[in-house]
Each structure stands twice: as C-alpha cells, then as structure tokens.
Amino acid sequence: EAQVTQNPRYLITVTGKKLTVTCSQNMNHEYMSWYRQDPGLGLRQIYYSMNVEVTDKGDVPEGYKVSRKEKRNFPLILESPSPNQTSLYFCASHSMGQNTEAFFGQGTRLTVV
Amino acid sequence: AQKITQTQPGMFVQEKEAVTLDCTYDTSDQSYGLFWYKQPSSGEMIFLIYQGSYDEQNATEGRYSLNFQKARKSANLVISASQLGDSAMYFCAMREGPYSGAGSYQLTFGKGTKLSVIP
C-alpha cells in the first residue's frame, strides 16, 4: 500500500530538548516536504527536498533542520524546541510534476512546554 | 499577497443538499495545478480532486466537482448530495509551473473552510 509514515503521532516535550520526527515513504517519490498546520493559518511549508542530499527552505524554516540521506526518508529535526513550535506537523511526498497528487503522513501533534 | 484565498472560514449545509466552497488564487504562471484536500477531525489529509490550468473541462470525482473559472482565477469545490461524513476542513492548494524556480513544486495552501453538515 502506498503510504507516508510519520512517527510519532503525538509528542509532548520540554523547551530545549532536541527531537526528531521521522518520515518515510514507499512510493519512490523524489519530492518530500514538511508542513506545519496552525489554526487559522492553513498549512505552511517548512522545508522541502527534491532529491537525495538536496534540501531547501520553505516559508517557515526557522528553528528546524532536515536531512535527505536516502530517497525514502526525510526526518524533521528540532534542535532546541520552543513553545511557538507547538503545532500539527505533516510530511508529504509526491513525484516530480505539476499535476501529481501529494501524499500526506498521518500528522504529528507536537506540544512544547 | 496571498496566493490562495478561501473566504469562508465556516459553512453549514443541510444533509443531501449541494454546497460550494470558494477558492481564488493568484499566479502569473500560465501552467499550474489546483488541488482540494479534505481534513476530517481525525486529522489526516485526503486528496479529493485536481484541476490543471490547461484542462478544458471541469474536473469531477464522484460527488466532487471543481468549478474552474480561469479568467476569474477561481477554483470552487462543489459537493453534491452532502453527507454527514463530509463534515471536515477543506483546503484549496496550488502548485505553480515547473519553471517558477526552486520552490516550484511547492503546494501552497489556503487557510481552509470548515464545513458542517446538518442532519
């Protein structure tokens, strides 16, 4: 089954404690991205990757890092989380092309206290 | 300027009635794609329908259709015969053409419309 898998689904952490949210896709997609969703703001792109070892900033990259060492994996790293990073996070992937549907992970609800 | 505008934060519709969710977009590209996603209360993002800028006909997928008016830059989602399970957030999104630059495959989302179906 084609899917994007994120882990964990829920996470409560403390300010400053480094964390990683994993994302893996099994569709051999070149393009992967991370979004955060906040009430009233829709989904905003954090980082994206167009292929292995190729990553770039999206609209709201501050406080986040990513890596793309393998095509299937695209982890999101918060080196020093802060309360304003409390949000719902989505990983998405799609093949290159304008009309290709993006597949989303189940979402990770992160709370930073 | 916002690239995707959804002007209805919330809407109500009677079960079995049709409903239109508005979406306008802003782009200078000739080639772009428009998407609608549904997000139920469980949180997952579900792809509903796609319309390409060069598509002559409006897209349809079952009870979903897209009313595409290119000159007005609008891509409204029409849900026919609403069901209780249609209650959810709905997001309109756009992907601009492949020559727009490094972020050209980015999906830009609107802020969403919360649809509530009343029995």
For B23-80, the pLDDT digits (tens) are 999 998 888 899 999 999 999 999 999 999 888 899 999 999 999 999 999 999 999 9
**Nearest to residue A23, comparing CAs of A63, A77, A61?**
A77
pLDDT score of B99? 53
Q: Map residue B16 onto helix, strand or coil.
A: coil
Q: Which residues of A35-63 are buried (b: 16+ CB within 10 A; e: fewer)?
A: bbbeeeebbbbbbbbbeeeebeebebbee
Amino acid B17: pLDDT: 98
Q: Is B10 helix (H, G, I), strand (E, B) or coil?
A: strand
What's the mean pLDDT when you consider all of chain A? Answer: 94
| Alpha-carbon distance A37 to nearest alpha carbon in chain B (angstroms) | 9
Residue B107 scores a pLDDT above 90: no
**Chain segment A26-68, per-residue pLDDT in tens:** 999 999 999 999 998 999 999 999 889 999 999 999 999 999 9
pLDDT of residue B97: 62
**Residues of chain A with C-beta less than 8 angstroms from the C-beta of B37:** 104
- The widest CA-to-CA distance across chain A, in whole angstroms, is 40
Residue A98 pLDDT class (50, 70, 90 cuts): low
DSSP B116: E
Q: Do B45 and A41 touch (CB under 8 A)?
A: no
Q: What is the reported pLDDT for B118?
A: 97
Q: Element (H or E) spanning B117, and its range?
A: strand B113-118
What is the rounded CA–CA span in Å between residue A20 and residue B4? 30
pLDDT at B102 over 50: no
Mutant choice from A95, A99, A100 vs B, greatest count of B C-beta within 10 A: A99
- Which residues on chain B are in Cβ contact (under 8 Å) with A90? 45
Percent of chain A exceeding pLDDT 70 equals 98
Does the distance separating the beta carbons of A50 and B105 come in below 8 Å?
Answer: yes
Number of H helices, E strands in chain A: 0, 11
Q: Is pLDDT at B104 greater than 60 in this prediction?
A: no
Sign of CA dihedral A69, A53, A107, A62: positive
Rounded to whole angstroms, the Cα distance separating B43 from B24 reads 24
**Residue-level pLDDT at B1:** 63
If you ran DSSP here, which 8-state letter would residue A98 be given? T
Question: Phi then psi for A83, rounded to 5 degrees?
Answer: -55, -30
For B106, the closest of A48, A90, A96 (CB atoms) is A48
How many angstroms separate the CA of residue A38 from the nearest CA in chain B? 9
Q: What is the mean pLDDT of residues B4-11?
A: 95
Q: How far lies B49's CA from each of A34, A42, A108, B20, B61, in Å?
A: 21, 18, 24, 14, 6
- Taking CA atoms, what residue in A is nearest to B38? A104
Q: Residue A99 has what pLDDT?
A: 72
Please say whether the beta carbons of B90 and B115 come within 8 A: yes
